[in-house]
Amino acid sequence: MNESDFNQLAEETMVEIEEAIDNCGVDIDTDTGGGILTLEFVNGSQIIINKHTPLCQIWVAARSGGFHFDYNADSSTWILQSNGEELFACLSHYCSEQAGEAVKLSAD
């Protein structure tokens, strides 16, 4: 994937994440700037999501750790390197942990 394609795809994904957060029904604030999406929870904890252009990855920093997602063109999804899980499923888990309630996110 070239840099231009990655940047477009990553930006579209960041918008999808922000929309999914807005539609999940849980009190999570979002802030975007400089290619970084910050999710802030009522308890003050945060999840930071950013694109890492040199490696064509989306990086997520959550309370439970740092995670790197690669794009899988066959499934049109971002996949966690370490275990093959999909980005929105992982974000649902990370957000649920930090919100203290179930959060279900999807790219719909």
Residue 31: both structure tokens together? 């802030």
- Evaluate whether residue 16 is within a structural domain: yes
Structure tokens at 47: 């999840």
Residue 52 in domain: yes
Domains contained in the chain, number:
1
CA distance 81 to 2: 19
CATH number for 48: 3.30.920.10
Q: Are 58 and 50 in contact (CB under 8 A)?
A: yes
- The CA distance from 94 to 60, in Å, is 10
User: Does 107 map to a domain?
Assistant: no
Tens digit of each residue's pLDDT, the chain (108 residues): 899 999 999 999 999 999 999 999 899 999 998 889 999 999 999 999 999 999 999 999 999 999 999 999 999 999 998 899 999 999 999 999 999 999 999 877
